[in-house]
């Protein structure tokens, strides 16, 4: 593992690191904020998964999360959203290829050799994190924005007992029924739609639910509402009587201005679960 940068931040350290990924077959970069408490022992960790076109850097710089994480004594990990580099498949569209991994393991050409973000986020990067830093494997939570909200919800519901809480900002909530999902699932997973269901948070909520509290924030003026389909997830949560809260926030769009506005709520929500 290579240290790219480390900066003092709210009493803790905001680091950026890279490592050789066997899952993705390339170098991968991630950000990690460690609060001051990590100097004396392992701290709880919140995973933040970013959205389309983003790298590890977007939320790390724009979300304002470190201040609230430092106050709560929790770590934040900011993974990248896809493999990157020369020789790795890409597409001219912003919503497919590099920057658009959708947190799945691709099975189709030309994506299959490198686009294995499910394995990277759920297996490889956790091993790197827990072996290399003072973070507590038994106290994890997960959140994300847009495509990352999709990833956070599907991963949380697929690993019962791993995460104490899950939240999402404007998640792609029903990708098997949306162009933000059907296009990418066809490319990455093939035309057999039965293989898509494991990566749809609305379908997972209907059939499985989450074994902890859920918080979802959505902007009512989000320019991508027709692609996100938040009403499907809200209905699934209500039908299942999921322990959770879905909030439609008047006037907010899809930007990081929206994310940063509600970040304190999300960090506090997770801290309560992590320390409770």
On whether the pTM is more than 0.95, the answer is yes
pLDDT score recorded for residue 54:
98
Compute the distance between CA of residue 209 and CA of residue 76 in angstroms, rounded to an integer: 24
pLDDT score recorded for residue 51:
98
CATH code of residue 40: 3.40.50.1820
140 by DSSP, 3-state: which? strand
- Kindly state the tokens that stand for 263: 């970040």
Beta bridge partners of 138: none
User: Cβ(202)–Cβ(173) under 8 Å?
Assistant: yes
- Domain that includes residue 204, residue range: 2-275
DSSP string, 4-42: EEEEEETTEEEEEEEEEETTTTEEEEEEEEE-GGGGTS-
Cα–chain center distance at 154: 9
Compute the distance between CA of residue 110 and CA of residue 113 in angstroms, rounded to an integer: 7
Closest Cα to residue 36, out of 70, 7, 6? 70
pLDDT score recorded for residue 145:
98
pLDDT, tens digit only, all 276 positions of the chain: 999 999 999 999 999 999 999 999 999 999 999 999 999 999 999 999 999 999 999 999 999 999 999 999 999 999 999 999 999 999 999 999 999 999 999 999 999 999 999 999 999 999 999 999 999 999 999 999 999 999 999 999 999 999 999 999 999 999 999 999 999 999 999 999 999 999 999 999 999 999 999 999 999 999 999 999 999 999 999 999 999 999 999 999 999 999 999 999 999 999 999 998
pLDDT score recorded for residue 254:
98
In the chain, the number of structural domains is: 1
pLDDT score recorded for residue 251:
98
pLDDT score recorded for residue 276:
86
Going from the C-alpha of 255 to that of each of 221, 224, 252, 262, the distances in angstroms are: 11, 11, 8, 12
Please say if 222 is a catalytic residue: yes
Q: Please identify which of the residues 146, 167, 178, 201 carries the catalytic annotation.
A: 146
- Kindly state the tokens that stand for 174: 């029903």
Region class of 107: left (phi > 0), else alpha (psi between -120 and 50), else beta: alpha
């Amino acid at each position: 593992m290579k240290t790219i940068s480390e900066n003092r931040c709210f009493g803790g350290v905001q680091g950026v690191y890279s490592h050789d990924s066997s899952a993705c077959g390339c170098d991968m970069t991630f950000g990690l904020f460690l609060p001051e408490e990590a100097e004396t022992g392992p701290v709880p960790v919140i995973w933040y998964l970013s959205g389309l076109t983003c790298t590890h850097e977007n939320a790390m710089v724009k979300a304002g999360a470190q201040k609230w994480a430092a106050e709560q004594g929790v770590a934040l990990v900011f993974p990248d959203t896809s493999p990157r580099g020369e020789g790795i498949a890409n597409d001219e569209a912003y919503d497919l290829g590099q920057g658009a991994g959708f947190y799945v393991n691709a099975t189709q050409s030309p994506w299959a050799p490198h686009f294995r973000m499910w394995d990277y986020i759920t297996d490889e990067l956790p091993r790197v994190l827990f072996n290399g830093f003072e973070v507590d494997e038994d106290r994890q939570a997960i959140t994300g924005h847009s495509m990352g909200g999709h990833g956070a919800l599907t991963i949380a519901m697929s690993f019962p007992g791993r995460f104490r809480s899950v939240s999402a900002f404007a998640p792609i909530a029903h990708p098997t029924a949306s162009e933000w999902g059907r296009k990418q699932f066809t490319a990455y997973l093939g035309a057999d739609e039965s293989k898509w269901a494991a990566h749809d948070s609305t379908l997972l909520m209907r059939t499985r639910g989450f074994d902890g509290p859920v918080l979802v924030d959505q902007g009512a003026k989000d320019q991508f509402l027709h692609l996100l389909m938040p009403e499907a997830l809200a209905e699934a949560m209500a039908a299942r009587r999921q322990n959770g809260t879905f909030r439609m926030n008047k006037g907010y769009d899809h930007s990081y201005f929206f994310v940063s506005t509600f970040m304190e709520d999300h960090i506090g929500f997770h801290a309560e679960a992590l320390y409770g």
